[in-house]
Structure 1
Amino acid sequence: MWLRTWTTSIAYLPSMLAMVYTLLGLISVMPSGLPDPSSLPNSDFFEALTFKQHDTPRTLLAALVGGLISLMVFSFTMVMSVLTQAGAQFSHKLLLGLVTERHHQLVLGHYLGSLLFLLVNLMVPNTGDSPTLWRSLAVYLGVLMMVNCLGMFVYFIHQVSQSVQINAVARRLSGRTRLSLERLRQRNRDDGFCEREVGRDDDQCQLLRARRRGYIQQVDFSALRQLAIKHDMVVHLDFALGAFIVSGMPLMRIEWPNGLPEGATAGEELDEEQQAELIKNLRAALGYLDGESVEDLHEHGLTQLMEVAIKALSPGINDPGTARLCMHQLTELLSERMSVPLCNCCVDDHKAVRVSWQMESFASLLYRSITPILHYGRDDLSICLALLELLKTLSLMGAQYGHLVLLQQHADKVVEAILAQAEFEVDRRFIEHGLQAGHHRLNLPSPQW
């Protein structure tokens, strides 16, 4: 778990690149085995490359260091300004995703690495009457690194300016959510996962409480399944994935179908001393995070798109176009979510339940995704019609997956908000066209004005 946290942090790539550059800098100041330039072929060329004075390379290196520091300060001042603007316009939850983009980390790594390389060459003094060919070539390499940083600076400005545009923000968030949905689909295709009504008697279960706080968004269900089979038990998770857990909360309940182990008492907590190894392995299967991870839970991606939409509808921003763009992405993601087979338990080879957990239903997810948008945008006719178009599109798949009645209920709420705005004749004509447009399976009214 710590390795995954390290490799996905903002410091991973910059620190790796900085180490490579530092190693290259140490190699460049080591005594070299290069012969004297006069003894090499094309000696005039190598003689011209070799500095004759000690102060020349040091002056050049000092100028490069000062210029690179100024470039770094300017670059990341601009980043903070852009991130502040993005947080104000969209959602502060998106800021971490913008900062941790791989190309941003690569630029930071090249900046830091080039600076360390130049500092190593500047701090280690030259020996002899004049700089050697090896040290001279290291200075030229530092110049090339500075030129590379200038090119990356232009690339960095372009990427940062593009990354905070709403099209890029919505596309990136939608892509990450889609990948999370695909991983969920692949996992649920496994024979060990299924959807089933799982009953339990809490009086016959032993309780395991949480020992730390955080959001549990990663669960190693395969490890829990193997533990349950090995100890002949059933593990019932007491939390929903993505929920915030505080220390002392019920974490999971252990059910023993064939009787409690020796010394265990039903309805009480697991004994820490008698079953220390089991409890350690049960806790190790849970992954805690400090924030919302879209890669682990697709629900967070849908929620963040909804939050960007309602932020755009706030009076301070007043950008219904951004809200409609988010609803377009929500339409695609909700349609994919509708087709994903849901599983709430793991079974063994004999189809007996070994692990069960709570899974958010499509009805709950749809409600959380569109109801806040309707609440904040019900006075904007374009937002209401966009919501109706979302429901129309979902209705084409809703009958196949048994959600048509649910979609009709939400459509009735949206139609009520739309009809409340039919004050003038021009509004009525526009509303009537919006209600009749498009292919769908909803039962929408034909108002008689």
Structure 2
Amino acid sequence: MNKLYKRFSQIYLSVTSSIALWPSVIALGFLLLGFFTLYFERTFSAVYLEKNFLFPLNSEPENARLVLNTIASGTISLMVFSFSMVMIVLSQATSNLTPRVIPGLISDKMNQLVLGVYIGTILYTLIIILSFKPGEDNNSVPMLGILVAVVLSIICIGLFVFFIHSISRAIKPDTILTRIYTQTKDALQKEVQKTKENEVLKNQKEPLHWIELPSKEGGYLRQIELEALNKIAKREDLMIEVPIQIGKFVVPGLPFLRLNKDLQGNDTLRDEIQDCFIFSLEEVVASNFENGLRQISEVAVKALSPGINDPGTALSAIDFLTLLFLQRMQSITANCLLDEHQQLRIIKRPTPLNELLYRFLTPIRTYGTADVMVVRKLLMCLQHLFYADKEARQHTAIFIKQVNVIRDDADQNIKNPEDRHEINLVLAGIQENISSPETCIKLLP
């Protein structure tokens, strides 16, 4: 049953993340509307409406066909033009930003709504056209159906104008960075709420010796069934530590979990635990905290490349990274799940802050090491983090290490005395936020 459920979950995730889902649903709805309209035309209510309200309309069969043909061909032209623009926008986003922002642009619900209405209007109009029969008289022309088709064509024109406006804004780097930041912040809040920190995690002793469990599958981790994993842990009296995050790549045969008991020889239980983790060979495009950090970091690196040469976007990206690091600092402790007896069962550890800083600031530092504004902005990022950690002083050593690395690169690559003076001003400001007198950050000579 677990295998079947896991397979169903994989199919469900693939379907729900596809760009074709909502357009297909909307188009199916319009198709059903077309058949319902033909049925309704034969009812007494439809005849009454046509005689008393729709009589001023021209009911000649040839004119009706001309109107429907015009609507169908015009909507097809709008659809082709609109999504030719989408392809151009995606090409520009790949060249100027990063290919990782493409799933966010494709999965935009408004773009899917526009595509669905276009396809639905075409299908609806074709159904109405097929209802015409040779040698029919004026009374058999579906006037109500034609009126609905005209209204749908007007809606398509309105959506086309809105689509042009939205797609022109969607390609702006500031808009993309804001969207990624918002999604990443929401993903972090959901992660914290899903497995809230509990006092039990602080008071209960963890096992002295964890036993690592190798993975039988490989690929990108797409989903963790935490509730099912919690039930297994309760039933088998296990304590399970989950160190990996959504989106991480797992290699078969390497450890991906840690348990308080050795499951060697119990293949059934190991398979049951493995089934709680859904993997995919395609890179995960779902919104999660680390994926958002990676996208913003890659946008900054792309902006610093000689072909793009857009340092302003890189500076904005560093600002967004600063905000996200500040929020991660507030929830960097491990989270847990308990059973109904308040016994600790699942420990879910986030990626350490030092690893996040290294993974997502190092590429920017490497590509912008000779740009004084980028170096200064990176130091200001760490200065803000220092200030936020001034009272608790939990991450001071991590920040000092990053500051020294950036300072050393600046010492080697930035030679202008005025630029070095500006960097020293930021380094002096960082030193003021360090409470420990024995810790001293050296200025550039």
Find the counterpart in structure 2 of residue 288 from structure 1.
279
1:414-442 per-position Cα deviation (integer Å, ceiling 9, x unaligned): 22333445534443444444445689615
Distance (whole Å) between structure 1 residues aligned to residue 36 and residue 125 of structure 2: 12
Distance (whole Å) between structure 1 residues aligned to residue 349 and residue 200 of structure 2: 13
- Which 10-residue stretch deviates more, 430-439 or 90-99? 430-439
- Tell me if structure 1 keeps the 8 A contact 2:339–2:345: yes
Change (3 A) 1:129 1:407: same
Find the counterpart in structure 2 of residue 180 from structure 1.
187
Cα deviation, residue 5, structure 1: 4.3
- Tell me if structure 2 keeps the 8 A contact 1:241–1:358: no
Find the counterpart in structure 2 of residue 308 from structure 1.
299
- Give yes or no for the alignment of 1:441 onto 2:437: no
Find the counterpart in structure 2 of residue 33 from structure 1.
43
- Which 10-residue stretch deviates more, 246-255 or 112-121? 246-255
Distance (whole Å) between structure 1 residues aligned to residue 214 and residue 128 of structure 2: 57
- Tell me if structure 2 keeps the 8 A contact 1:57–1:139: yes
- Which 10-residue stretch deviates more, 379-388 or 193-202? 193-202
Cα deviation, residue 268, structure 1: 3.4
Change (3 A) 1:389 1:20: same
1:38-89 per-position Cα deviation (integer Å, ceiling 9, x unaligned): x77974x53322513x222112211211111111111111110111000111
1:355-378 per-position Cα deviation (integer Å, ceiling 9, x unaligned): 345542111111111111111111
- Tell me if structure 2 keeps the 8 A contact 1:339–1:401: no
Cα deviation, residue 228, structure 1: 1.2
Distance (whole Å) between structure 1 residues aligned to residue 142 and residue 340 of structure 2: 67
- Tell me if structure 2 keeps the 8 A contact 1:192–1:347: no
Find the counterpart in structure 1 of residue 321 from structure 2.
330
Distance (whole Å) between structure 2 residues aligned to residue 226 and residue 267 of structure 1: 17
- Tell me if structure 2 keeps the 8 A contact 1:398–1:407: no
- The structure 2 residue matched to 1:48, chosen from 42, 56, 60, is 56
Query: What TM-score do the two structures reach when normalised by structure 2?
Result: 0.85
- The structure 1 residue matched to 2:221, chosen from 212, 216, 220, is 216
One-letter identity of the residue aligned with 2:290: E
Change (3 A) 1:389 1:208: closer
Query: What TM-score do the two structures reach when normalised by structure 1?
Result: 0.84
Change (3 A) 1:351 1:440: farther
Cα deviation, residue 382, structure 1: 0.6
- Tell me if structure 2 keeps the 8 A contact 1:188–1:342: no
Question: What value does the CA root-mean-square deviation take over the aligned residues?
Answer: 3.1
- Give yes or no for the alignment of 1:22 onto 2:28: no
One-letter identity of the residue aligned with 1:216: L
One-letter identity of the residue aligned with 1:364: E
- Give yes or no for the alignment of 1:163 onto 2:163: no
SS of the equivalent of 2:345 reads strand
Distance (whole Å) between structure 2 residues aligned to residue 445 and residue 209 of structure 1: 46
Change (3 A) 1:239 1:210: farther
- Give yes or no for the alignment of 1:10 onto 2:19: yes
One-letter identity of the residue aligned with 2:331: V
Equivalent residue runs for 1:383-394 within 5 Å? 383-394=374-385
Identical columns (%)? 29
SS of the equivalent of 2:279 reads strand
Find the counterpart in structure 2 of residue 62 from structure 1.
69
One-letter identity of the residue aligned with 1:393: H
Find the counterpart in structure 2 of residue 367 from structure 1.
358
Find the counterpart in structure 1 of residue 104 from structure 2.
97
SS of the equivalent of 2:56 reads helix
Change (3 A) 1:255 1:325: same
Cα deviation, residue 139, structure 1: 1.0
- Give yes or no for the alignment of 1:130 onto 2:137: yes
Cα deviation, residue 292, structure 1: 3.0
Distance (whole Å) between structure 1 residues aligned to residue 349 and residue 103 of structure 2: 28
One-letter identity of the residue aligned with 1:110: V
Cα deviation, residue 391, structure 1: 0.5
Unaligned 5+ segments in structure 1 are 257-265
- Tell me if structure 1 keeps the 8 A contact 2:369–2:413: no
- The structure 2 residue matched to 1:232, chosen from 228, 237, 246, is 237
Change (3 A) 1:436 1:83: same
SS of the equivalent of 1:194 reads helix
Change (3 A) 1:381 1:253: closer
Change (3 A) 1:191 1:215: same
Cα deviation, residue 125, structure 1: 2.1
Find the counterpart in structure 1 of residue 437 from structure 2.
none
Query: Number of residue pairs matched?
Result: 426
- Tell me if structure 2 keeps the 8 A contact 1:395–1:407: yes
Distance (whole Å) between structure 1 residues aligned to residue 57 and residue 140 of structure 2: 7
Distance (whole Å) between structure 2 residues aligned to residue 413 and residue 161 of structure 1: 40
Find the counterpart in structure 2 of residue 270 from structure 1.
266
Cα deviation, residue 243, structure 1: 2.4
SS of the equivalent of 1:20 reads helix
One-letter identity of the residue aligned with 2:235: K
1:304-358 per-position Cα deviation (integer Å, ceiling 9, x unaligned): 1111111111111111111111000000000110111421654556665533455
SS of the equivalent of 1:48 reads coil
SS of the equivalent of 1:291 reads coil
Distance (whole Å) between structure 2 residues aligned to residue 192 and residue 368 of structure 1: 31
- The structure 2 residue matched to 1:245, chosen from 242, 250, 256, is 250
- Which 10-residue stretch deviates more, 226-235 or 413-422? 413-422
Unaligned 5+ segments in structure 2 are 1-8, 435-439
- Tell me if structure 1 keeps the 8 A contact 2:221–2:246: yes
- Give yes or no for the alignment of 1:410 onto 2:410: no
Change (3 A) 1:338 1:440: farther
Find the counterpart in structure 1 of residue 6 from structure 2.
none
Distance (whole Å) between structure 1 residues aligned to residue 327 and residue 427 of structure 2: 25
Distance (whole Å) between structure 1 residues aligned to residue 432 and residue 223 of structure 2: 37
One-letter identity of the residue aligned with 2:230: R
- Tell me if structure 2 keeps the 8 A contact 1:392–1:440: no
